[in-house]
Amino acid sequence: MNVLIVYAHPEPRSLNGALKDFTVQRLQAAGHAVQVSDLYAMAWKAPIDASDSVDHDPATRLDVSEASRRAFASGSQRPDIAAEQEKLRWADGVILQFPLWWFSMPAILKGWVDRVYAYGFAYGVGEHSDARWGDRYGEGSMVGKRAMLVVTTGGWESHYGPRGINGPMDDLLFPIHHGILHYPGFDVLPPFVVHRTSRIDEVRFAGLCEALGERLDNLWRTEPIAYRKQNAGDYEIPALTLKADVAPGQKGFAAHVLQPQA
Amino acid sequence: MNVLIVYAHPEPRSLNGALKDFTVQRLQAAGHAVQVSDLYAMAWKAPIDASDSVDHDPATRLDVSEASRRAFASGSQRPDIAAEQEKLRWADGVILQFPLWWFSMPAILKGWVDRVYAYGFAYGVGEHSDARWGDRYGEGSMVGKRAMLVVTTGGWESHYGPRGINGPMDDLLFPIHHGILHYPGFDVLPPFVVHRTSRIDEVRFAGLCEALGERLDNLWRTEPIAYRKQNAGDYEIPALTLKADVAPGQKGFAAHVLQPQA
- Note whether A138 contacts B: Cβ–Cβ < 8 A: no
CA distance B198 to chain A (A): 10
| A234-260 residue pLDDT tens | 999 999 999 999 999 999 999 999 987
**Average pLDDT in chain A:** 96
Overall average pLDDT of the A90-108 stretch: 98
- What are the per-10-residue average pLDDT scores of chain B (262 residues)? 98 97 98 98 97 88 95 96 98 98 98 98 90 93 98 97 98 98 98 94 96 98 98 95 96 93 57
> How far is C-alpha B75 from the geometric centre of its chain's CA atoms?
24
CA B22 to CA B233: how far, in whole Å?
Answer: 42
pLDDT, residue A144, reads 98
Q: How many CB pairs under 8 A join A and B?
A: 210
pLDDT for A241: 98
B254 part of a folded domain: no
- Residue among A49, A106, A159 whose CB faces B10 most closely: A49
Give the pLDDT of residue A198: 87
Position B259 in a domain: no
Q: Cβ separation of A108 and B107 shorter than 8 Å? A: yes
Residue in A with minimal Cα distance to B158:
A239
pTM for this predicted structure:
0.98
The answer to whether the Cβ–Cβ distance between A107 and B99 falls below 8 Å is no
Is residue B141 one of the residues assigned to a domain? yes
Query: Would you say residue A127 lies in a domain?
Result: yes
Peptide bond into A190 cis (omega under 30): no
Residues in B touching A137 (Cβ below 8 Å)? 165
Q: Best residue in B117, B137, B163 to probe A by mutation, most A CBs within 10 Å?
A: B163
Residues from chain A contacting residue B137 (CB–CB below 8 Å) = 165
Q: Which of B13, B111, B256 sits opposite A165 (nearest CB)?
A: B256
Q: Please check the confidence at residue A143 and state whether its pLDDT lies above 80.
A: yes
ipTM of the complex: 0.97
Residues of chain B in contact with residue A230, where contact means CB-CB under 8 angstroms, are 165
Chain B partners of A245 at a C-beta cutoff of 8 Å?
none
Averaged pLDDT, A100-116: 98
Q: Per the domain annotation, does A248 fall within a domain?
A: no
CATH code of the domain covering residue B25: 3.40.50.360
- Closest chain B CA to residue A253: B167
**A241 within a domain of the structure (yes/no):** no
Q: If we measure between CA atoms, which residue out of A121, A61, A45 comes closest to residue B9? A: A61
**Which class for B142: exposed (0-12), middle (13-18), buried (19 or more C-beta within 10 A)?**
buried
Which of A39, A110, A158 minimises the CB distance to B110? A110
Structural domain contains residue B248: no
Residue A47 inside a domain? The answer is yes
Whether pLDDT at A187 is above 90: yes
With cut-offs at 50, 70 and 90, classify the pLDDT of residue A146: very high
DSSP B46-57: -S--GGGBTT--
The set of long-range contacts for A29-32, using a CB threshold of 8 Å and a minimum separation of 24, is A30/A216, A30/A217, A32/A1, A32/A2, A32/A3
Point out which residues pair with A70 in neighbouring strands: none
Please name which of A97, A121, A72, A99 lies closest in space to residue A3, comparing C-alpha atoms: A97
State how far the Cα of B78 lies from the Cα of A102, in Å rounded to an integer.
20
Q: Tell me, yes or no, if A105 comes closer than 8 A to chain B by beta carbon.
A: yes
Residue A262, pLDDT > 60, answer: no
Residue B147 has, within 13 A of its CA and on its CB side, a CA count of: 22
Task: Give A53's contacts in chain B (Cβ within 8 Å).
Answer: none
> Which residues on chain B are in Cβ contact (under 8 Å) with A64?
10-11, 99
**How far is residue A12's CA from residue A207's CA, in Å, rounded to a whole number?**
20
Domain extent, residue A29, equals 2-223
Q: How many domains does chain B have?
A: 1
Quote the pLDDT of residue B188.
98
pLDDT value of residue B262 = 53
Chain A interface includes B119 (CB < 8 A): no
Cross-chain residue pair B167–A252, CB shorter than 8 Å:
yes
The residue-averaged pLDDT of A162-191 equals: 98
